[in-house]
Every structure is written in C-alpha cells, then in structure tokens.
Amino acid sequence: MARLNVNPTRMELRRLKDRLKTAERGHKLLKDKSDEMVRQFLALIKENKRLREEIEGEIGEALKSFSLSASSPLDVVQAIALPSLSASVTIGTKNIMGVDVPFMETKRVGEVSLPYALCSALAELDDAVLKLTALTDKLLHLAEVEKTCNMLADEIEKNRRRVNALEYVMIPQLQETIKYILMKLDENERASIVRLMKVKND
C-alpha cells in the first residue's frame, strides 16, 4: 500500500493519528448507515413485490370486465366520457436515512359513482369502473414505493463506494504512513543515541 508523502515528524504523526481516528469513526458510521439502508430497502422491495402482484391481479380482473362490458370500444368510451369524480395529488418528500424520497397523498372531490345511466351499459362495466377507481390510490402508492426503492439503491451504491474507499484506501494509507513515521523516529532516536555514545567515548 502506498504511503502518504509527509515529513516524518512528531507533529505530523499526531496529525495523522487524529486523521486515522476520524476515518475509522467515519467508516463505522457509514457502515452502520449502509446496513440500516439495506434493511429498509429490503422491506420496501417486499412491499413493492406484494403491491405489484396485487395490482396486476386487480387490473387483470378490471380489464376482463371491460372486455365483457360492451360490443365495441366506442360504447365504453361514450359511457365513461364524463367523469363523476375528480382527484388531486399532493406531492412532497420524506426523509429516509438522509435521502429525500417522494411522498404522494391523494384527495378526492365528489362521491364514487358511475358516470352514466345504469340502463345504458352492462353490469360488467359498473364492476370495471368501480375496480379501476379503487385502484388509483394503490397505483400511486406503488409508484411512490418503486421510486423510493430506486433512490435508496443509488444511495446504497454511493455509500458502499465511500465505505470501500475508507476501508481499502484511506485507512491503510494512514496506517502505513504512521508506521513509516514511527520507524523513522525510532531510527533517528537510535542514531542520536549512537552519536551521544561516540561523543562520550571520545
């Protein structure tokens, strides 16, 4: 391991020992942060998988109802052309281990009702409209969880690079340099003792 290019003095030794202590403490903190982020990431991945499977199943049922609801797509489009419900989405952020991830909240205005006369469409269309209306919140929550997973994955990767840089580059360099300075100081001390002994003998 390459050592740092410094003067082998006691002052430099003290400075490097302080830097090593700080680097080791930083390494421990980053490692703990990384472990906690991975734990939260795995929990989010499980929730993402569960939500995705649930939503895909419900969308499949809703689309099946849509396909059975009318003889032509035009009939369906005409039946649901005027929505009976409006929704607004408030987008903000929340903090997970120092990462600002998206947070979405929906607010609905109006009652959940069918936007057409009951005699103008089949019961399957009623079922499809109600199912898809209920799915809106779940779809937004899935989008929020997926984006959070992506952002946490990026942050975990960055954090791992920092941990590795400290563990395999900076800390060994500092240790090697401290060892070199100690060796040089011992060598200088021995040289001055030998000089003193020679002066004494003369």
Backbone angles phi, psi at 113, to 5 degrees: -145, 165
Can you read off the two tokens belonging to residue 200?
Answer: 């004494």
Q: Model confidence at 83, in pLDDT bands (50, 70, 90)?
A: low
List residues bridging with 92 in a β-sheet. Answer: 103
Which position has the higher pLDDT, 160 or 1?
160
pLDDT in tens, 159-189: 999 999 999 999 999 999 999 999 999 888 8
Q: What angle do CA 190, 193, 198 make, to 5 degrees?
A: 125
pTM above 0.85, yes or no: no
Q: How confident is the model at residue 151 (pLDDT cuts 50, 70, 90)?
A: very high
Those residues whose C-beta lies under 8 Å from the C-beta of residue 173, and which sit 6 or more positions away, are 1, 2, 3, 4
On whether the CB atoms of residues 183 and 125 are closer than 8 A, the answer is no
Chain centre to alpha carbon of residue 108: 30
- The reported pLDDT for the residue numbered 188 is 84
User: How many residues are there in the chain?
Assistant: 202
Question: Could you give the angle at the alpha carbon of 71 between the alpha carbons of 66 and 74, nearest 5°?
Answer: 80
* C-alpha–C-alpha distance, residues 2 and 177, integer Å: 8
Sign of CA dihedral 11, 13, 18, 23: positive
Query: Which amino acid makes up residue 24?
Result: E
Q: Quote the tokens at residue 20.
A: 């090593």
Q: Which two tokens stand for residue 201?
A: 């003998």
User: Residue 109 forms beta bridges with which residues?
Assistant: 86
16 or 6: whose pLDDT is higher? Answer: 16
pLDDT at 72: 57
Just give the CATH number of 10-193.
1.10.287.3240
Q: How confident is the model at residue 122 (pLDDT cuts 50, 70, 90)?
A: low
